[in-house]
Amino acid sequence: MTTLVPLLGDQLSHSLASLRAIPKDAIILMMEVAAEATYVPHHPQKIALFFSAMRHFADELRAAGWQVDYIRIDDPDSSGDFAGEVARAAIRHKATRIVTVAGGEWRVLDDQQSWGEITGLPVEIRDDDRFLCPIDQFAAWAKGRKRMVMEDFYRLMRRQTGLLMDGDQPVGGQWNYDQENRKSVPKGHKFTPPLRFAPDAITADVIETVAARFGNHFGSLAGFGWAVTRAQALAALDDFIAHRLAGFGDYQDAMVTGEDVLNHSLLSPALNLGLLSPLEVCQAAEAAYVAGTAPLNAVEGFIRQILGWREYVRGLYWFAGPDYTARNHLNATRPLPALFWGAPTDLKCLGTAVDATRRNAMAHHIQRLMILGNFAMLVGTDPGEVHLWYLSVYADAIEWVEAPNVIGMSQFADGGLMATKPYAAGGAYVNRMSNHCKSCKYDVKIRTGPNACPLNSLYWDFLARHEAALSNNQRLWRMYDGWRRFSEEEQVRIRAQAATFLATLA
């Protein structure tokens, strides 16, 4: 009896369900495969992160007494994909059964479901229980609801975990302190930079391989500093809690030219690879509040992102089904503008966000939602293309978390399953939340004319274009009222201005 345990690149947790209740002589199979590195053109830092963290984890498993069969990307005999490697390993080890944990994408789960037929072996696919809300629990909660409001789900999760709870009531008397979390950054404010990790020999080797094989993908490898082990991820967590959590709430929605990180944690890659558990991260933040080193608005805001949003989008991804990424409620068909792949743009906010993405395989939430996502939606980009771009370029992008954020939250392509209204904004929002407009070529205060910020006309044009689909939405009433207050001549001027800009994108 030989048990083969294929373990995927985002399953790097010693508590993984497939490592429990199996014989100690089982063979753990880890596979660096070309198909996974190229099914979208991942940012080279993302590929290097996965490969380096996988190699480090394999070493940790061996040190813990497991037998690990590790297939490297340059293995000349590799078939290049999961199914082929599982089939080869099953023969190599004379396996009699396969035990694995469900992957984080419908595509991968489909593949796992084919392994039985390919190998002729019984395959047990265990639930991924590294989340706080099981998929079935989310489905039971979501079923029959007209709107799946995140805030309702979040309160349920607070009660279920006891995080920031005082008996049955929220600590501090309020569930949500978002109102306190929209401050703009005072001039000259200094942010403490995050802890980064110089590449060790394993990472350096991986970086060399990735540069040679995938160096043509969009993105730079130069600044690689991600945590690639659990020990490093824990150090990054400690550093965030000690130095940046306290300011997390205040400037959560802010954007500053020259500041890539602000007070964000940069923990999503470690969380999504399984190097950290969501509960331990939330507990560390809660402990800082209890110890008096971080205020409630910061701690609640941070915990809500993980206990609320992260669990919610995961539940929604599996609840919505495999065709979710094909949704296109607004029938948007424009190809993704070239600026997303680094073509020059005069819009400072967009150029800054794309450049951060290129250098870091990272952009913070408001850049992803209100700069990049907003622009893609305003110009009518095909949401499928937007989805593939986000899946490619961010170090933390795995479809279960990326797709709902892109298709649902940022593009409104699911017709409101996730968001109650499109996150559409013109230049005024960017000007309020950032200092980008001060050094931008365009004038954010005007709608038309050669110097007008393109976001202004694009915003109104978006609303006008989708009037039939959106104007009944109560939450958009004020915006449509604003549009109708323009004179007919001004409406024509605004739409012509937008059309001129859109023509430059083609």
Site for ligand FAD, rule CB under 6 A = 264-268, 271-272, 302, 305-306, 309-310, 313, 364-365, 368-369, 373, 390, 394, 396-397, 401-402, 405-406, 409-410
**C-alpha to C-alpha distance for 119 and 181, rounded to whole angstroms:** 53
DSSP 3-state of 502: helix
Distances (CA, A) of 454 to 240, 374, 449, 467, 486: 37, 12, 10, 20, 18
Distances (CA, A) of 112 to 79, 88, 109, 116, 338: 16, 15, 5, 8, 35
Q: Does 217 bind ligand DLZ (CB under 6 A)?
A: no
Q: Which does 410 bind (CB under 5 to 8 A by kind): ligand DLZ, ligand FAD, none?
A: ligand FAD
Q: Which two tokens stand for residue 167?
A: 């008996």
Interface pick for ligand DLZ out of 28, 108, 307, 370 (rule CB under 6 A) = 108
Q: Does 10 bind ligand DLZ (CB under 6 A)?
A: yes
Q: Which does 365 bind (CB under 5 to 8 A by kind): ligand DLZ, ligand FAD, none?
A: ligand FAD
- The pairing of strands 67-71 and 3-6 is unpaired
Q: Which two tokens stand for residue 141?
A: 């909660």
Shortest approach of ligand DLZ to residue 30 CB, angstroms? 7
Q: Does 361 bind ligand DLZ (CB under 6 A)?
A: no
Q: Which two tokens stand for residue 40?
A: 């979208």
Shortest approach of ligand FAD to residue 297 CB, angstroms? 14
Q: Which does 479 bind (CB under 5 to 8 A by kind): ligand DLZ, ligand FAD, none?
A: none
> Smaller CB distance to ligand DLZ: residue 111 or 490?
111
DSSP 3-state of 135: helix
Q: Which does 103 bind (CB under 5 to 8 A by kind): ligand FAD, ligand DLZ, none?
A: ligand DLZ
> Smaller CB distance to ligand FAD: residue 348 or 368?
368
Q: Does 8 bind ligand DLZ (CB under 6 A)?
A: yes
> Smaller CB distance to ligand DLZ: residue 101 or 246?
101
Distances (CA, A) of 364 to 77, 252, 395, 432: 40, 9, 12, 17
Residues paired with 123 in a beta bridge? 98
> Smaller CB distance to ligand FAD: residue 407 or 453?
407
> Smaller CB distance to ligand DLZ: residue 37 or 376?
37
Angle CA(220)–CA(226)–CA(228) in degrees, nearest 5?
Answer: 125
CA neighbor of 143 nearest in space, from 153, 157, 151: 153
Continuous H helices in 187-256: 201-214, 230-243
Shortest approach of ligand FAD to residue 477 CB, angstroms? 24
Angle CA(361)–CA(367)–CA(373) in degrees, nearest 5?
Answer: 100
Q: Does 44 bind ligand DLZ (CB under 6 A)?
A: no
> Smaller CB distance to ligand DLZ: residue 250 or 311?
311
Q: Does 85 bind ligand DLZ (CB under 6 A)?
A: no
Residues 397-426 binding ligand DLZ (CB under 6 A) are 398
Q: Mark residue 331 as left, alpha or beta (left: phi above 0; alpha: psi -120 to 50; beta: remaining).
A: left
CA neighbor of 225 nearest in space, from 174, 266, 276: 266
Q: Does 391 bind ligand DLZ (CB under 6 A)?
A: no
Q: Please give the sequence-ordered ranges of beta strands (E in DSSP) within 63-210, or none if there are none.
A: 67-71, 97-101, 123-126, 165-166, 169-170
Shortest approach of ligand DLZ to residue 10 CB, angstroms? 5
Burial of 12 by CB count in 10 Å (0-12 exposed, 13-18 middle, 19+ buried)?
buried
> Smaller CB distance to ligand DLZ: residue 48 or 378?
48
Interface pick for ligand DLZ out of 56, 85, 87, 104 (rule CB under 6 A) = 104
> Smaller CB distance to ligand DLZ: residue 217 or 329?
217
**Centroid of chain to Cα 105:** 13
Interface pick for ligand DLZ out of 36, 69, 253, 414 (rule CB under 6 A) = 36
Shortest approach of ligand DLZ to residue 284 CB, angstroms? 25
The residues binding ligand DLZ (CB under 6 A) are 8-10, 31-33, 36-37, 42, 47, 50, 103-105, 108, 398
